[in-house]
């Protein structure tokens, strides 16, 4: 083995029904006196005992630049000394956009399984193009996980968001900085998510299932933050920014197609994914899990049409990671996006010389 693994420092507080107490403890520990709460709706049960100077609800998917600029302005004008984001990837993303230019610390309180709270990756969208980057200033200082806050998340959105987390795990197996620690963390995340997802589908209020999904979301994001964005995430970032597709559902749809493309060229990673899913093959294990939870299968219902495929391919090709297990051609991307658009089954992509 020969690798370098970097683990960013971050405090994680986990407990059902403990979000308010944990957040209050973190605000006190950080010495904050003027808190900006970024959330699309109030959470008095979480923020009731902290010194909130400003509630900010101007949030949008994929963090448009103008939305980020407004948030940065109000944070500066109100002398904010701590950002608290409560919600999914959009609220966390906006807090990161503010932290990127201000250096303000973030305490994240996730209510979905997006995983952005555990990464130092930021993203901004302008003129239909999503730009991402890595900066330690945007990594939340603390994360407060509370499964009680996720019970109200609709089952279909829970499934899409959970599969988004699973995509973090899969991409971590062959991201630009993939290493054995990332792979082990990602495999643990897959096991937690594959246990939690079916439980939540059977009973949306299943506390144990929701706990497993939050644990899986954290593990997936920790692995992804270290390994970096692979082919799957590059595709989804382009699709989300250019065509305003919903983040979680896009990831849920694209995942099996990228797995079918990369797995034959990365047999060790494929075996780890298969074992974590309790299956003989990664593709079959994911397919069975998706069937159990009635996962979304096509991008067409979300506004991505076949006529958009050539433009999307042109946008994606320049950002394909050099570390991908196999070369990616215009034809490969066309095949992947066409099947994902219409909901066709993932197409096998055998590697020459392998069966």
Answer yes or no: is 268 within a domain: yes
Per-residue 3-state assignment (H helix, E strand, C coil) for 64-100: EHHHHHHHHHHHHHCCCCEEEEEECHHHHHHHHHHHH
Contacts (Cβ under 8 Å, ≥6 apart) of 67: 58, 59, 60, 94
The first and second tokens of residue 114, run together, are: 């997006």
> Does residue 351 lie in a domain region?
no
Indicate if 181 and 131 belong to the same structural domain. Answer: no
CA distances from 171 to 175, 217, 230, 272 (A): 6, 14, 5, 13
Range of the domain at 203: 155-342
Residue where one domain finishes, among candidates 130, 149, 168: 149
Residue 188 belongs to domain with CATH number: 1.20.1090.10
| Same domain flag for 119 and 193 | no
Confirm whether 112 is domain-assigned: yes
Asked if residue 110 and residue 188 are part of one domain, the reply reads no
Residues whose CB falls within 8 Å of the CB of residue 347, separated by 6 or more in sequence, listed in order: 257, 260, 335, 336, 339
Question: Which residues are paired to 134 by β-bridges?
Answer: 121
> Global pTM?
0.91
354 within a domain of the structure (yes/no) = no
CATH number of residue 34's parent domain? 3.40.50.1970
User: Rounded distance, CA 237 to CA 295, Å?
Assistant: 20
Same domain, 126 and 239: no
Instruction: Report the chain's terminal Cα–Cα distance, integer Å.
Output: 27
Asked whether residue 97 falls in the same domain as residue 231, the answer is no
- Number of neighbouring beta carbons within 10 Å of residue 146: 26
DSSP alpha helix (H) spans, the chain: 19-30, 44-47, 65-77, 89-102, 155-172, 180-202, 207-227, 231-243, 247-262, 267-277, 282-292, 309-316, 330-342
Coil vs helix vs strand at 9: coil
Q: Would you write out the chain's pLDDT as a tens digit for each of its 355 residues?
A: 788 888 878 999 999 999 999 999 999 999 999 999 999 999 999 999 999 999 999 999 989 999 999 999 999 999 999 999 999 999 999 999 999 999 999 999 999 998 999 999 999 999 888 888 999 999 999 999 999 999 999 999 999 999 999 999 999 999 999 999 999 999 999 999 999 999 999 999 999 999 999 999 999 999 999 999 899 999 999 999 899 999 899 999 999 999 999 999 999 999 999 999 999 999 999 999 999 999 999 999 999 999 999 999 999 999 999 999 999 999 999 999 999 999 999 988 787 655 4
Measured distance CA(55)–CA(57) in Å, rounded: 7
28 half-sphere exposure, CB direction, 13 A CA radius: 7
For 345, the token pair is 């089954």
- In-domain check, residue 25: yes
- Choose one of 149, 183, 213: the last residue of a domain: 149
Determine the Cα–Cα distance for residues 188 and 275; give it in Å rounded to an integer. Answer: 10
Question: Is residue 212 a part of any domain in this protein?
Answer: yes
Q: Are residues 130 and 241 in the same domain?
A: no
Single residue among 149, 164, 191 that ends a domain in this structure: 149
96 shares a domain with 139: yes
Q: Judge whether 277 lies within some domain.
A: yes
Domain co-membership, 168 together with 136: no
The torsion angles phi and psi of 151, rounded to 5 degrees, stand at: -65, -30
User: Would 174 be classed as within a structural domain?
Assistant: yes
Same domain, 137 and 259: no
User: Do residue 137 and residue 20 come from a single domain?
Assistant: yes
Q: Identify any residues that bridge with 296 across adjacent strands, giving them in sequence order.
A: none
Total structural domains in the chain? 2
Same domain? For 177 and 306 the reply is yes
* 67 and 131 share one domain: yes
Q: Are 286 and 297 in contact (CB under 8 A)?
A: no
Q: How far apart are alpha carbons 180 and 1 in whole angstroms?
A: 9
């Amino acid at each position: 083995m020969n690798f370098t693994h970097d683990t960013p420092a971050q405090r994680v507080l986990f407990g059902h029904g403990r979000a308010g107490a944990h957040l209050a403890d973190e605000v006190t520990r950080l010495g904050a006196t003027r808190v900006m709460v970024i959330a699309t709706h109030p959470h008095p049960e979480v923020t009731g005992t902290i010194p909130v100077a400003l509630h900010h609800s101007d949030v949008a998917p994929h963090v448009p630049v103008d939305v980020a600029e407004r948030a940065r302005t109000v944070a500066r004008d109100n002398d904010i000394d701590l950002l608290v984001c409560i919600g999914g990837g959009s609220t966390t993303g906006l807090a990161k956009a503010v932290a990127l230019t201000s250096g303000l610390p973030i305490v994240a309180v996730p209510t979905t399984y997006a995983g952005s709270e555990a990464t130092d990756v930021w993203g901004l969208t302008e003129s239909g193009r999503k730009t991402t980057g890595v900066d330690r200033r945007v990594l939340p200082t603390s994360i407060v996980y509370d499964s009680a806050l996720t019970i109200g998340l609709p089952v279909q959105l829970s499934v899409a968001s959970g599969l988004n987390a699973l995509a973090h795990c899969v991409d971590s197996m062959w991201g630009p900085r993939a290493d054995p620690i990332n792979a082990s963390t990602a495999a643990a995340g897959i096991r937690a998510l594959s246990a939690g997802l079916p439980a939540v589908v059977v009973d949306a209020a299943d506390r144990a299932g929701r706990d497993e999904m939050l644990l899986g979301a954290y593990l997936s994001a920790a692995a992804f933050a270290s390994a970096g964005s692979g082919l799957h995430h590059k595709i989804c970032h382009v699709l989300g920014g250019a065509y305003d597709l919903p983040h979680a559902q896009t990831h849920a749809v694209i995942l099996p197609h990228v797995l079918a493309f990369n797995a034959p060229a990365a047999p060790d990673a494929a075996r780890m994914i298969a074992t974590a899913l309790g299956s003989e093959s990664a593709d079959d294990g994911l397919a069975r899990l998706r069937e159990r939870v009635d996962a979304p299968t096509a991008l067409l219902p979300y506004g991505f049409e076949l006529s958009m495929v050539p433009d999307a391919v042109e946008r994606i090709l320049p950002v394909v990671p050099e570390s991908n297990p196999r070369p990616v051609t215009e034809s490969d991307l066309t095949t992947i996006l066409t099947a994902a658009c219409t909901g066709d089954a993932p197409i096998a992509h055998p590697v020459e010389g392998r069966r």
